[in-house]
Amino acid sequence: MIENLFLLGLAGAAIALLFAAVQAKKVLAFSEGTPKMQKLAQAIRQGANAYLKRQYSTVAKIFVVVFAILLVLVAVGMLDNWFIPFAFLTGGIYSGLAGFIGMKIATSANARTANAAHESLNRGLNVAFSSGAVMGFTVVGLGLLDVSIWFHILKYIAHFDAAKIAQTMVMFGMGASFMALFGRVGGGIFTKAADVGADLVGKVEAGIPEDDPRNPATIADNVGDNVGDVAGMGADLYESYVGSILATFALGAAAYAAENLIWNAMLLPLVIAVIGVVCSVFGSFLIRTKENATQKSLLATLRKGTYTAAVLAAVAAAPATYFIMGSWGPYIAILAGLVAGCAIGYFTEYYTSDTYKPTQNLSDSTRTGAATTIIGGISLGMLSTAAPIIIISIAIIVSFLAAGGSLNTADQAVYGAAFAKGLYGIGIAAVGMLSTLGITLATDAYGPVADNAGGIAEMSGLGEEVRKRTDALDSLGNTTAATGKGFAIGSAALTALALLVSYVDVVKTKMDHLPDLSITNPAVLVGLFVGAMLTFVFSAFTMSGVQRAAESIVIEVRRQFKEIAGIMEGKADPDYASCVDLCTKGALREMVLPSLLAIIVPVVVGLLLGVEAVVGLLGGVTVTGFVVAVFMSNAGGAWDNAKKYIEAGNHDGKGSDCHKAAVIGDTVGDPFKDTSGPSLNILIKLCSTVSIVFSGLITQIHLF
C-alpha cells in the first residue's frame, strides 16, 4: 500500500515542470525591445550556447571514461549491480539538462527584462523573476522525475529490496555531482575571467562605465553571467536537491528495518519535496513590487514569497509526516531544517546586502583605498561564518535528538539502537531545508538575468532611469544569489554528514572486522589533514584558473584599446568574439584538474591508508569546505554590493576614488563568490559519493 504513494513523486514533477513551462511562456510573450537590444541578446545567446556545447563535449569524454571504469568494477564484483553505471549517466544528464534549460530561458529573458524595466520596475522584476522561476521549478521537477523513475525501475523491474534500492540510488548522485562540479568550476572561471578583465581595464584603467559597448569584454561578461551563475548554478542545486533526498533514502532504509517502516522512511523525503513544490508555486504569486521601491522593500517582497512558502510547507508537512511515520520526531527534524535554511538566508542577507551596516561599513573603508577595502571584506567574510555554523550545529543536534537519537554514550546498547534514527533525522532536516528550493532558486536565478538586463540597457542607450531600475534589480540579485549559496552550502553540510554515515555503513558490510574510526587512529587523523588540505588546494586551483584566464582577457582588452582606432570614441566596434573565445578556452582548460581532484584524492587516500583514512578525509573536507565556502560567498557578495552602494550615489558615486577602490575589492571577490565558494559545496558531497562508489575497491585493496 505505502509503496504506491511513491507515484506522488511523478505528480510533484509534473506540477513543477508544468509551472516552469507556464512561466517560460509568460516570459517569451514580452518584447525583446529595439533591434539593437535584440542584436545584443542574440550575441549573448550565441556565446553562451557555444560555450556550453564545448563544455558538455569535454565533460562527456570524461563521463565515458568513468562509466567504463564503473562497468569494470561491476564485472569484477566491486560494485553491487549493473544499474549503478547507468544511474551515474542519468544523474549527470539530468544535472546538465537542468543547467541548460535555465540558461536558455535566461538568455531569452535578459533583453525582455531591460525592455520591461523601461516601462516600470515591477514589470522588470516580473520578467526577471519569472525566468528565475523556470530555472527553480525545472530543477526540482527534473530532480523528482529522476528519483521517481529510478525508484520504479529498481522496485518493479529489477525487484530490488528497499535497502538495495536506496544504496543504488545514492550512487547516481555521483553523476549529478560530477556534472555539477564541472558546470560550476568551468562556468565560474568563464564568468569571472570576463568580469575581472572587463572591470580592471574598462572601469579602473579606461574609466568607462560598466557594460559600456566600447569594452571588448562586455559581451563575454554577459555570456559569463549565464554559463556560470545560471547553467552552473542549476546543475549545482539540482545535485544538492536530489543528493539530500537520496541520502535520506539510504539512512531511512538502515534506521527503520527493525520496525518494518523502511518504505515509510523512504517515502517521507519524497512527499516533503512534493509539498515544497506546491507551496513554492503559491509563494511565487506573492512576488510583486511598487514603482520606486527601495532595496529594503524589494528584499521584503522576495522574503514575503520565500517565507510564505516555507511557513506553508511547515504546516503541510505536519500531518503528512505523522501519517507516514506515526510519530512527531521526524517532523521536528524537518522543521529544524526549514528554520535553519531561513535563518542562514537571513544572516547571509544581513552580511551581504547594502541595506545593513556590515556592507555599508565596508563601503566606508573605500575612503582609505583598495587595501583597507580588501582587509575589511576578508574580515567581514570570516565573521559571517559564525552564524551559519551555529545554526547548522543547532539543526544537527535538534534533528538528531528529535528523530530518536541519543547523546548518552554510556549505555552503548541504547545509543547504538537510537543512532541510526538520529541520523535519519539529520537527513530529513536537509530535505526540509531544500523543500522550497523551487522559489528559493527562483529568487537566486533571476539575479544574472537582471545583471544582463542592466548591461543591455547600458549598451542600447536606454537612459539613466532604466539603468537605475536594472541596477536596483541587480543589487537585489547579488543578495539573493548569496542567500541561495547559503542554502546550498547549509544543505550540503547536512547531506555530506548523511553520506559519510552511508559510507561507513557500506564499508562495514564489506569488511570482516569493524573499522577503528576514533580520532586517535593515525589513519583517521591523517585523513582529516588531507581533507582539510583538499579544500584549500581545490580553492587555489579554481582561483588561479580565474587569474590566468582573466590575465588573457586583460591583455586582449588592452590590445584592442591600443590597436583599434576610434574604439574609445565609439566610431569603431570592438572584437567581442575574441574575448568570448579566450574565456571559453581558458575555462575549459582550467576546469579539468580541480574537478578531478574530488575523484582522485579520496580513491588514492583509500588505496594507501584504507577506509579509516577516507572517513577522516570526508570529515575534514566537510568541515573546512563548509566554513571556507561561507567565508568566500559572503565576502564576495559584500564587496560586490559595497560597489553597488557607491554606484548608487554614496561616497561621491561612480568614477570617484572610493568607487575605484570598491571595484578592486569586487574584482577580488568575484572568484570568491562565483567560482571557488559555490564549488566547494559540490566538492564535499562528491567526495562522499565517490568514496561510496569505490568502497568495494578500497576495502579489498589498500597498502596499509
Identify the band that residue 353 occupies on the pLDDT scale cut at 50, 70 and 90.
confident
Identify the band that residue 609 occupies on the pLDDT scale cut at 50, 70 and 90.
very high
| 261 alpha carbon, distance to own chain's centre | 33
Q: The C-alpha cell of 661 is what?
A: 577602490
Share of the chain above pLDDT 70, in %: 97
Q: Are 340 and 244 in contact (CB under 8 A)?
A: no
> Between residues 614 and 2, which one has the greater pLDDT?
614
Average pLDDT over residues 184-210: 82
Residue 180's CB is within 10 A of a number of other CB atoms, namely 33
pLDDT score at 319 = 96
Average pLDDT over residues 560-571: 84
pTM: 0.88
pLDDT score at 304 = 85
User: Using CA atoms, how far apart are residues 428 and 503, in angstroms rounded to an integer?
Assistant: 18
Identify the band that residue 292 occupies on the pLDDT scale cut at 50, 70 and 90.
low
> Between residues 167 and 485, which one has the greater pLDDT?
167
Q: Are 40 and 111 in contact (CB under 8 A)?
A: yes
pLDDT score at 295 = 62
User: Using CA atoms, how far apart are residues 614 and 525, in angstroms rounded to an integer?
Assistant: 10
User: Using CA atoms, how far apart are residues 111 and 192, in angstroms rounded to an integer?
Assistant: 22
User: Each residue of 225-245: b (16+ CB within 10 Å) or e?
Assistant: bbbbbbbbbbbbbbbbbbbbb
Average pLDDT over residues 78-100: 89
Indicate the SS3 state at residue 403: coil
pLDDT score at 60 = 92
pLDDT score at 152 = 93
Amino acid at site 20: A
| 228 alpha carbon, distance to own chain's centre | 10
Share of the chain above pLDDT 90, in %: 40
Identify the band that residue 64 occupies on the pLDDT scale cut at 50, 70 and 90.
very high
Nearest one of 222, 215, 219, 221 to 201, comparing CA atoms: 215
pLDDT score at 478 = 65
> Is 118's pLDDT higher than 80?
yes
Identify the band that residue 105 occupies on the pLDDT scale cut at 50, 70 and 90.
very high
Q: The C-alpha cell of 204 is what?
A: 579602473
pLDDT score at 123 = 84
Nearest one of 221, 429, 234, 444 to 352, comparing CA atoms: 444
Distances (CA, A) of 453 to 32, 68, 151, 180, 228: 11, 44, 41, 26, 16
pLDDT score at 294 = 66
User: Using CA atoms, how far apart are residues 341 and 328, in angstroms rounded to an integer?
Assistant: 20
pLDDT score at 482 = 66
> Is 644's pLDDT higher than 90?
no
448: left (phi over 0), alpha (psi -120 to 50) or beta: alpha
Average pLDDT over residues 574-578: 88
> Is 598's pLDDT higher than 90?
no
The 10s digit of each residue's pLDDT in 407-445 is 877 676 667 768 889 989 999 999 999 899 898 888 878
Identify the band that residue 636 occupies on the pLDDT scale cut at 50, 70 and 90.
very high
Rounded to 5°, the CA angle 19-23-28 comes to: 150
User: Using CA atoms, how far apart are residues 311 and 3, in angstroms rounded to an integer?
Assistant: 28
End-to-end CA distance of the chain: 49
> Between residues 14 and 489, which one has the greater pLDDT?
14
- Contacts of residue 105, Cβ cutoff 8 Å, sequence gap at least 6: 24, 27, 131, 134, 135
pLDDT score at 366 = 95
Nearest one of 595, 592, 591, 601 to 694, comparing CA atoms: 601
pLDDT score at 298 = 73
The 10s digit of each residue's pLDDT in 41-58 is 888 888 888 888 888 988
- Contacts of residue 220, Cβ cutoff 8 Å, sequence gap at least 6: 47, 190, 194, 197, 198, 553, 576, 579, 580, 582, 583
Average pLDDT over residues 397-416: 82
pLDDT score at 272 = 96
Q: What is the mean pLDDT of the chain?
A: 88
> Is 12's pLDDT higher than 80?
yes
> Is 395's pLDDT higher than 70?
yes
Average pLDDT over residues 631-639: 93
| 8-state DSSP, 208 | P
| 8-state DSSP, 652 | G
pLDDT score at 1 = 65
The 10s digit of each residue's pLDDT in 480-538 is 766 677 777 787 888 888 888 888 888 888 887 778 888 889 999 999 999 999 999 99
pLDDT score at 293 = 65
56: left (phi over 0), alpha (psi -120 to 50) or beta: alpha
Q: Are 177 and 682 in contact (CB under 8 A)?
A: yes
